Amino acid sequence: AQKITQTQPGMFVQEKEAVTLDCTYDTSDPSYGLFWYKQPSSGEMIFLIYQGSYDQQNATEGRYSLNFQKARKSANLVISASQLGDSAMYFCAMREGAGQAGTALIFGKGTTLSVSS
Amino acid sequence: GAVVSQHPSWVICKSGTSVKIECRSLDFQATTMFWYRQFPKQSLMLMATSNEGSKATYEQGVEKDKFLINHASLTLSTLTVTSAHPEDSSFYICSARVLARGYEQYFGPGTRLTVT
C-alpha cells in the first residue's frame, strides 16, 4: 500500500495566487515526520518545510505553510503568492520513527506545479 | 545546511560496462547514506540504505549484484552499476541525515546516467 499519496499529477496557478498541493499519508507509527521538497528541472532536491507528528502548530516557512490534519492523515502544502520560480515538481515525503538516522524518507509520486504570468 | 556532493553529475556509458557514482558528505560524518533512483517525471524510489563499515540494505526488487554499494568511510559511499543496460538509465541521488542536526535529510545534486 502507498504510504504517501499525492493525487494531483499537475497543478496550474497564476502568479500571486495561492495554491494547495495535496498529500495524504499512511502509518501506524505514532512518531513520524512529514516533509515537502521542491525539485526544479535541474534535479536538485530543495527542502521546503517539515512537520513532526507531535507538533501542535502547523509549520510555516516564509511563503510555505503545511496544513497538518492528523486525524485525516493529511499534510497539504500551501504556497502563498505564487511566483514564476515556483514552477517545479513538488514531493511530499515521510519518515517513520524518531531519533533514527537509518530510516529513509519515502516519497509520494509528486505534483508538477506550473505558474503562469 | 550540510553539503552532500556527487560525482560525476552526469555520465554516458556503453551497454555492458560498469559505472561508479561517488557520494560524499563534505562537512559532516554520515554513518548512514541512502541511494535513490528517479526515472523522468517520476518519484524518488529508495534503492538501498548504506551503512558505514557494513553491507548495504537493499529494498525489495533491487538487484544487489547489479547495484553494488560500498560505504568505506564516514564521508564516502559509492554506487557501482555493473554491466549497465539502457533500462538502468536514470537519475541517481544520494542522501544522508545527521542526527545531531535534527530532522533534515540532505541530498546530493544527483547523477544522470545514460546507457547507450
| Nearest alpha carbon to residue A88 among A70, A69, A114, A107 | A114
Helix (H, G, I), strand (E, B) or coil at A84: helix
Chain B CB contacts of A99 below 8 Å: 99
User: Do B103 and A50 count as a contact with CB atoms less than 8 A apart?
Assistant: yes
Nearest 10 degrees: Cα torsion B55, B67, A33, A65: 150
pLDDT in tens, A69-88: 999 999 999 999 999 999 99
pLDDT at B2 over 80: no
pLDDT at residue A49, as a whole number: 96
Count chain A–chain B contacts defined by CB atoms under 8 A: 58
What region does B42 belong to: left with phi over 0, alpha with psi -120 to 50, or beta? beta
pLDDT at residue A78, as a whole number: 98
Count of other CB atoms within 10 angstroms of residue B57:
16
User: Do A91 and B98 count as a contact with CB atoms less than 8 A apart?
Assistant: no
| Nearest-angstrom CA–CA distance, A75 and A79 | 13
Residue A114's identity, in one-letter code, is S
User: Do A101 and B31 count as a contact with CB atoms less than 8 A apart?
Assistant: yes
A107 touches chain B (CB under 8 A): yes
pLDDT in tens, B94-106: 998 776 777 788 9
| Nearest alpha carbon to residue A72 among A10, A15, A25 | A25
| Nearest-angstrom CA–CA distance, B30 and A19 | 36
